[in-house]
Each structure stands twice: as C-alpha cells, then as structure tokens.
Amino acid sequence: MSAASTAPVLSVAIPAHNEEHYIARCIESIAASARTAGQPVEVVVALNRCTDGTQAVAQALGARCVVDDTRCIAAVRNAAVRATSAPAVATLDADSWMAPGTVAAILRHVNDPRTIGGGTVIWPERMSIGIFFSLLSIAPYVIRRGVSAGMFWFLRESFDAIGGFDESLVSVEDVDFALRLKAFGRARGQKYGTIRRHGITTSCRKFDPFGDWYLFRNPRLVKAIFEGTNQRAAEGFYYDIER
C-alpha cells in the first residue's frame, strides 16, 4: 500500500458486508502485488451494514474505510470508488484476491491510451464438476455481451463520465457497468480490455450453502439474476446468505 508521503497511482475500491473472514487476504494480496509492482496503491473499503470486525481488520492493514449502509451493491461500489484519490481505480470484491503481477498489469493497461478500461480473468479457488457446469450456465449471459468482469480497472474520469454503477439495478450491476464503459470507449475510439495473465482468484463461498450444481440446476434463477431487477432472486442468492 502507499506510503504516507507518496500519492497513490492506483486506488482499489472494495465493497464489504461482514467480510472479516475474507478481507485480510484480499487486502494483503493487494499490498503484495503493489510491492511487486513497486508502486504506491491506496485501498478504500466501503463498509455496508457491517456488524462484525471488518472495519478493524481493514484499518489494521492500512485501508481507509467509508460507510454506506444502502441495501444496494451498486451504491456501495459507488461509495468505495468515489472515496478514492488516485487517477486510476480498480474494483475488487472482498472475497477475491490479486496475483503478484496484478497491480503491474492494471497500471500497464489502464495507462494505455488505446484502452478505456476493462475486466479480468477470474479463477475459482477450487473446482469441481458441479462448479464447472454452473459456470457454464452463466457464461452465455456474459460472453454474448463481449465483456469481462470480476475486477474492473479504469481511470476515475471515465467512471465519472459514465455515472458509475447503476443504482437502479439489484444484480448484474457489474455487467451493466462493463457494457457502458465499453460503449463509452468505443465512442472515443478505445477498446475494452481484459487482463488475462494476471487475473484474480475468488472464493467459492456462494456454492458452499447451495451446492456446486445449484446454478446449473436452476436456470430460471440464473435468468432472473441477469435481468438485473429481480429483487427476490438477488436477495436470495446474494444478500441473505450466511457470511
């Protein structure tokens, strides 16, 4: 992370709702990747209705915390990004972690004038046949849109220009953000990029309570989630599960 006397070149914005079991690994991976890149990096955590030790863990590891108790992940993401201070920003979920080369890859791509921003390759922390087929059930909804997600990286000015994440959506606000960022870049003659060699790893915690085959066996739920406005589907799969 950044030294006190050095302005960060990259801010990482993390939304967090009761993430004391995951956020240390997330922040430590950012710090390690920043050291590998030799660049000062700021971490901002948006605390959302936290009743556990998320804030204490995050602050002990040098992160700056802001509070947004809105029951809307898009609003929490926006609060985290808007509290950043660096010209370049990356978003990362609290249960994901960077590779050693991730920060360097972000800075290389985000400062390329041919690129508006983009997403990354996501690796699950574990794999099974059920998880594989569940991911296949999601893939068509993302692939046909021609964007990657997982961890977004962009210049703050681009985030402001497209209005951030759409707070009218209760799910897939990340895919919507990617599509609008891609369209904004296209209008400026820039491409939407994907970091492939230095992507992120994410936990499989959503599969733990439901089972590895859950999404594959529930195509109606997948469709409802990708509608973006189905509150019941979003609450049941994202917000009401044990942390």
pLDDT of 1: 57
For 129-175, what is each residue's pLDDT tens digit? Answer: 998 888 888 887 777 788 888 899 999 999 999 999 999 997 889 99
* Residue 187: strand pairing partners: none
Distance from C-alpha of 44 to C-alpha of 81, rounded to nearest angstrom: 8
Q: What pLDDT band is residue 4 in, cutting at 50, 70 and 90?
A: very low
Polymer length of the chain: 243
pLDDT of 155: 98
For 200-209, what is each residue's pLDDT tens digit? Answer: 999 998 888 8
Environment class of residue 145 by beta-carbon count within 10 Å: exposed (0-12), middle (13-18) or buried (19+)?
middle
Residue 3, pLDDT above cutoff 60? no
With a CB cutoff of 8 Å and minimum separation 6, the contacts of 129 are 212
Domains with residue ranges and CATH for the chain: 10-239 (3.90.550.10)
CB 96 within 8 A of CB 166: no
Q: What is the pTM of this model?
A: 0.90
Q: Is 86 left (phi over 0), alpha (psi -120 to 50) or beta?
A: beta
Six-digit token string for 16 = 């967090």
